[in-house]
Chains A and B, each alone.
Chain A
Amino acid sequence: MLRIYQRMAQVNWAEQWQYRANLFMYILYGLVTPIVYIAVWTSIANAQGSVSGLTANDFIVYYMIMLLVDQVTGETVIYNFVYKIQDGSLSSEVILPVHPLLTRTLMNNLAFKVMTTFVLIPVWILLSLLFQPTFASVTLTNVLLAIPSLIFGFAINFLLSSTIVCIAFWTTRVWALYRLYGIPVALFSGQFVPLQLMPKIIQTMSIYLPFQLFKYFPTQLILGNLSTHDIILGYSMDIVWLVVVYIVFRFAWRAGLKQYTAVGA
């Protein structure tokens, strides 16, 4: 099994290396929004000293760390899987004795991640020089404490998107669905503002929803902004959601595959 993953990783690396010019453009997409948010919130924080206790530096550090968290927990499943269902090229993959999504697509995601990291790091350093934040609250303990949450975050994010991708077995409108999925992510993940600035009801809901597990939770862990109670609650949510999402995904995949064979026959 490990050798399968190794081989898939090699193939994907070689495949994607051809498109390295496109990498920068891909990175650019992810960069614009956090930079805009940094600009907006630092301009407010600077004008009034602080926003609900958060200083300009707090905002810069929050978005800068979230950029890195996103890099680890982000996924690209929809971009490299939906078309396989739609043009039928999935057929040659399902006859292999390995799971198409959980091996090839997963490795494709990871290879892409490693490659974009090489582009992101210099850009990230440049941004640090421009915004000049002080990362005083980031300690080694915090980072170590956050590592499992990053793995959980990626797994949950990947499986959630994979479940949405499975809907492509039934409908061609999966891209519209993906755009719809972006709304709860925007509301509950903490990507727009640190969640304490959101309305109370959204704050409470986001604790129990999976979306903050791949953005807000790891970011705040790294920044050391969480109490022991928050950390235990967050990790409990990680475990619960990973199990739930995995079961839902298995179910959607099996049902979808039946549907797919029916169309293909």
Chain B
Amino acid sequence: METLKLIRSFIKVNVEMSLAYRSEAVIEFLLDIMWLGWELLSLQIIFWNTQSLGGWNKGELIALMGVLTMVNTFMSALIWPNTEFFNSAMHDGSLDYMLLQPVNSLFLVTFSRISIWRIADLIVAIILIVTGVNLAGEIVTPYNMLTFLLLIISGSVVLYSLWLVLIAFTFWFTKFDNNVTILQALTDTGRYPVTVYPWWLRIIVTFIVPIGLATSIPVQALRGDLNLQQVIIFLAVSIITLLISSQIWRLGIKRYSGASS
């Protein structure tokens, strides 16, 4: 109950902050649409030259683009603004006050900043997914739909866990202000199915920076490629990584208080 109230007040504060940047939001959204136009053209250029890419057809790649847009929305609405917030709080020492508050520090570091406007991109994402699935001519069963949604969430949880570990590293290596670059740089690999990548890149985007878990895997579930056992494994992996990363965060916090005194 307490948490819900807190989230509500966080949202309220952030809406008020965002209201000052209405025209920026419109410009950003228009830019997103224009870039989307380019992405669609580049996809078209690929499919002028081939029938399938790594075993996927054009519709499936458009759906994949929609899923990536969804993941990107999650990143740009929550993860990147809070990274900036955390890094500057770490820098100017205001993190001390944050940790003193009687609320879970993990919660504060995740929800302090919310870029409300970015959520407009979700509409684009949904249009892309629906169009893509229709174009691919696939019949989506309710079961496939359910596993698709669950796997998007679990994939995002894995990415969130990785993010948490990366920013927690700042407690050990203070000068690590590029802490999330690896995550930002590799997000674009989610645009294409992991099956097109050479083995070493496939290992990186599946196990080290698991963008593929949040993009390719959910679309595979939508296609009905995954059996129940695989779905359960992916869900379990996300829970385990979340538990491990929150432990690492806690260790980091302990270390931080030790260092500042």
Contact = CB atoms under 8 A, between A and B. Distances in A.
Contacts of A44: 46, 49-50, 53
B200 A36 contact: no
A40 B38 contact: no
Nearest to B191: A36
Interface string B30-61: 01001100100110011011100110000000
A36 B189 contact: yes
A186 B188 CA distance: 15
Nearest to B187: A32
A50 to B, nearest CB: 10
A28 B181 contact: yes
B48 to A, nearest CB: 8
Interface string B179-207: 00110111011011000111011000000
A22 interface: yes
Contacts of B16: none
A128 interface: no
Interface in A167-220: 173, 176, 179-180, 182-183, 186-187, 192-193, 197-199
Contact of B197 (A25, A39, A186): A39
Contacts, number: 76
Give the interface size bracket for B toward A: 20 to 34
B45 A197 contact: yes
Contacts of B175: 21
Nearest to A32: B185
Nearest to B52: A47
Interface string A18-51: 0001100100110111011001100110011001
- Most interface-central of A29, A48, A52 (chain B CB within 10 A): A29
Contact of A43 (B28, B53, B178, B185): B53
A6 B109 CA distance: 46
Contacts of A130: 198, 200
A48 B50 contact: yes
Given A28-B181, A173-B24, A187-B38, A36 B50 contact: no
Contacts of B186: 32
A40 B35 contact: no
Nearest to B35: A183
Interface residues of A, number: 33
A25 B181 contact: yes
B27 interface: yes
A117 to B, nearest CB: 19
A198 B45 contact: yes
A40 B196 contact: yes
Contacts of B41: 187
Nearest to A197: B45
B185 to A, nearest CB: 5
Contacts of A52: 49
A109 B129 CA distance: 42
Given A32-B188, A36-B192, A40-B192, A183 B34 contact: yes
Nearest to B186: A32
Contact of A32 (B35, B178, B189): B189
Interface in B212-248: none
A187 B34 CA distance: 12
A176 B31 contact: yes
Contacts of A21: 175, 178
A35 B54 CA distance: 16
Contacts of A32: 185-186, 188-189
Q: Which 5 residue pairs of A and B lie closest in terms of their CB atoms, listed nearest first?
A: A25-B181, A25-B178, A43-B196, A44-B50, A28-B185
30 contacts: A21-B178, A25-B181, A25-B182, A25-B185, A28-B182, A32-B185, A32-B188, A36-B189, A36-B191, A36-B197, A39-B197, A39-B201, A44-B46, A44-B50, A47-B50, A48-B50, A51-B49, A130-B198, A130-B200, A173-B24, A173-B27, A176-B27, A176-B31, A179-B31, A183-B38, A186-B38, A186-B42, A192-B45, A198-B45, A199-B45
Given A21-B175, A39-B196, A197-B49, 17 more contacts: A21-B178, A28-B185, A29-B181, A32-B185, A43-B196, A44-B50, A130-B198, A131-B198, A176-B27, A183-B35, A186-B38, A186-B42, A187-B41, A192-B42, A197-B48, A198-B45, A199-B45
Interface of B: 24, 27-28, 31, 34-35, 38, 41-42, 45-46, 48-50, 53-54, 175, 177-178, 181-182, 184-186, 188-189, 191-192, 196-198, 200-201
